[in-house]
Amino acid sequence: MEKCYCCDKHLEDIFYYCSPCDFAMKIACVEKQPLLSVHHLKWHEHTLSLFPRHTSLTCDACALTHSTCHFYVCPPCDFVIHQSCISLPRVIRISRHPHRISFTPSFDQRDWFCSICRQKIDNRYGGYSCFNGSCSYAAHSRCATQSNVWDGIDLEGVPEEIEEENEPFVIISNGIIQHFSHGQHHLRLEDSVWGDYDESKLCQSCITPVYFGNFYSCMQCKFILHEKCANLSRKIYHPIHPHMLTLVGGYGNVQILKDCCSACQWICRGAFVYECKKQGCRSFRLNVQCATISEPLVYKGHMHPLFLTSKPLEGRKCSVCENYTMTFNCIECACDFALCFRCATIPQNVRYKHDEHMLTLSYGEETIKNWCEACEKSINPKKGFYKCDEYCCVTLHIKCLLGNELYINPGYSSYASNGEKVLVMPNNQHMSRPLCSHCKKRCLRKLVFKVSRFIFCCRNCVSDHMYLSL
């Protein structure tokens, strides 16, 4: 939640906000008359006087010139500071850097760039730099104190605590572990044979198949984890949230299908998720794919690296799916390319049960065959598709290969619709694809939705059927 830059308290339902400056103030603070002078030794040795006019002076603390906030000045020293900047913290911990960072009134004469917005820092003005002497991390004052980066706590004078790392598993013997999410059984490390591919065998963490490489398999049941997923840290910081996130997951119990990933909006119940345990923002969660993606993001469909430069409450148009949401952004001159988390986390390489080779994700590339192998409809290369780079000429829509619901665990997920329990099941229960009870078309995706004796191809058909049944 945003805080008022004047009183540093949480904003109410109605407040003043300037999106270019990320400046927000409560109505009461705007209407309140400022003090004519202040004495604040942490910021300046002399008494500061209120500047009587609204003007575009440059604040020595934040390097911004917006005049929506009152200025205080020290004429003999040529010192200028916003009223709101007087309350800037001295020492903070942000989610984008492992060390504490502290306020500095100016930077040395090197070229400094803000590690949050990726823009150049003016050395003459204040900002934040890393506590660790061997680290060159730096950030603008307003960037470092954004509500999606900083937790609002000033750590000046607070001793730094070393957070203990909880290991995700206990080693039982060579190649055998006991994972925290599956404590009742032991898991054995195995190697996926290249030609032995079963699309129904899903990693219970990321809900994607084991295409190749090592994985852990339960010695008593069907529980599977990619080796990478088994080693996921149990606690992390993520660039888009100010608090620590905790990995939660389980197996064997039907999961309620109601929560979405806060980054990509895919439904993420039934998979492992990173959740915020802090009171007030327990609804924040990330699926494994969004939690482990990092910046700079190297995307095959764009020539420049992408960064998370968006401010709180700011959404941009994704250049691929054209939805307005939180995005990775290109910072190169005259380039406004943006990529949302949903598009950024689509797997680059996948397997198809009717092709022995790996398929790769392609955007805008020419292909010999411009129709989908599964649905036999045309493919728009600009929207993305999977293709075989060998001589098979296999091409598939992204949704036809991955499905409409990417990270739902079939057989272990359910939700309620108009009081009816809806089971999410794998679409491999019959010799042929079943007919949807609502749209009367074949259920071609990997999942089907079952309500009593009815089968549906998607959640939209479930909702429409329930609506008509009222």
Tell me the percentage of the chain whose pLDDT exceeds 90: 37
Greater pLDDT, 196 or 164: 164
CA distance linking residue 195 with residue 187, whole number of Å: 23
Please state the domain extents for the chain: 15-87, 169-230, 247-292, 306-344, 349-402, 421-469
Band of pLDDT at residue 51, cut at 50, 70 and 90: confident
User: Is pLDDT at 56 greater than 90 in this prediction?
Assistant: no
SS3 at position 101: strand
Note the pLDDT of residue 256.
53
Note the pLDDT of residue 1.
43
Pick the range with the lowest mean pLDDT from 122-126, 170-174, 329-333.
Answer: 329-333
Greater pLDDT, 142 or 384: 142
Average pLDDT over residues 39-58: 77
Tell me the percentage of the chain whose pLDDT exceeds 70: 89
Band of pLDDT at residue 118, cut at 50, 70 and 90: very high
Pick the range with the lowest mean pLDDT from 129-143, 145-159, 221-235.
Answer: 129-143
Average pLDDT over residues 137-153: 94
> Does CATH number 3.30.60 belong to domain 15-87?
yes
Note the pLDDT of residue 5.
61
Mean pLDDT of the chain: 85
Note the pLDDT of residue 90.
92
Pick the range with the lowest mean pLDDT from 84-98, 134-148, 196-210, 253-267.
Answer: 253-267
Band of pLDDT at residue 66, cut at 50, 70 and 90: confident
Name the residue among 221, 228, 215, 206 with its Cα closest to residue 252.
Answer: 221
Kindly report, residue by residue over 173-210, the tens digit of the pLDDT.
999 999 999 988 999 999 876 556 777 788 989 988 88
Kindly report, residue by residue over 20-40, the tens digit of the pLDDT.
666 677 766 666 667 777 776
Greater pLDDT, 247 or 369: 247
Residue 107 makes CB contacts below 8 A (sequence gap 6+) with 121, 123, 127, 129, 138
Note the pLDDT of residue 32.
64
User: Is pLDDT at 259 greater than 90 in this prediction?
Assistant: no
DSSP string, 30-85: HHSPPPSEE--TTT-SSPEEE-SS---PPPTTT-----SS-EEEEGGGTEEEETGG
User: Is pLDDT at 96 greater than 60 in this prediction?
Assistant: yes
226: tokens are 């990619």
Average pLDDT over residues 145-174: 90
Note the pLDDT of residue 22.
64
CA distance linking residue 67 with residue 58, whole number of Å: 9
> What's at 378, amino acid-wise?
S
Name the residue among 343, 342, 355 with its Cα closest to residue 395.
Answer: 355
Kindly report, residue by residue over 269-302, the tens digit of the pLDDT.
667 899 998 887 878 999 999 999 989 999 888 8
Note the pLDDT of residue 113.
94
Residue 391 makes CB contacts below 8 A (sequence gap 6+) with none
Note the pLDDT of residue 429.
66
User: Is pLDDT at 253 greater than 60 in this prediction?
Assistant: no
User: Is pLDDT at 3 greater than 70 in this prediction?
Assistant: no
Pick the range with the lowest mean pLDDT from 225-234, 301-310, 418-427.
Answer: 418-427
Residue 309 makes CB contacts below 8 A (sequence gap 6+) with 116, 117, 118, 329, 331
Name the residue among 186, 270, 174, 181 with its Cα closest to residue 221.
Answer: 186
User: Is pLDDT at 135 greater than 90 in this prediction?
Assistant: no
Report whether 169 contacts 180 (CB < 8 A): yes
Report whether 364 contacts 299 (CB < 8 A): no
- Phi and psi for 217 in degrees, rounded to 5? -125, 135
Band of pLDDT at residue 152, cut at 50, 70 and 90: very high
Note the pLDDT of residue 421.
87
Average pLDDT over residues 428-440: 83
User: Is pLDDT at 115 greater than 90 in this prediction?
Assistant: yes
